[in-house]
Structure 1
């Protein structure tokens, strides 16, 4: 497999996060224009999100690792599989890419480029849901890389589609996506005031998963 230099890895992270957010926000806007049934809107939001994750991880994973998520990047930095300096740049690229993704989605649907969300998402159940969602995402990634590396794109896409439905928060599981979604006043949005609780829960969930999976996946010593 060819090695890709830092600039191309960073661009891949920004591009992947932008396309992910454009899909999340754009599919939510499209669904809202087609139906008032909340269940159908959620389904129409979840399916494209899972699908685009499969695509993006498959095509950009060989370049950057396809994190598209500061929580995932910090986990890999903690595992010393990504230098701390590169992790900082990855996170900055993900945040910038997420912002660009919201702008792109809004431009496609003739909305203001940025519009702070009024969608209230707060409270213990929402925060716990985000912790669970991110715990599951990191667990799926780490176990997938260990046991079935070629299936990781599908595992992540399917997990996120499922997590849209089994979590009360609809599974943001990604601080960069959460920040980007705070700037869309559409179905997928989150009120900026509610961001700190979501981001904290996501980071806690990610590192609890790291601790749990390091123990679970540790090979037993030979006897």
Structure 2
């Protein structure tokens, strides 16, 4: 026979309250996880007109591929052209100012495809090759920054100022030509401003011809 609340001992009351709280927390946890799973299932629709080139520069290859696939479907372009359009899109996004609309690149690709019947040229998936090579917070080029810290007098004094780069085709291969302005202590302990330049083979992932000038 069940006891009435007032008949329960303090220990039994505390045990009952703890059990109720535990059940409530478990129910909340299950409901919360269920909601998160539902949110993951619902992917945001791709609105081509709202995408900037900057967003493509930092997109993963899968994210970019979905964008290209949607464009081809929208423009009734055969899906067999997906890889060549994606390569062109990746290449041009890497060398186009970030504030431009990404749709403009796909429109150029379509015009070239319709005019020539194919997309040919020295194009690479540059955004993939460059992905993860730059620090997101200050734009510094990681391979060159690593080299500098390993070769200057005092690595702890290194301060990145700015980095500029351009993509060039050299010997039928894509290269980055990079210039980094930085501050660091010289051999006398005085902090000086210097500029480091280098070439970076995107296909090999190697740094060449590093030069440092005050």
After TM superposition, the score normalised by the length of structure 1 is 0.28
Determine which structure has more spread, i.e. the larger CA radius of gyration: 2
After TM superposition, the score normalised by the length of structure 2 is 0.29
Structure that is richer in helix per residue = 1
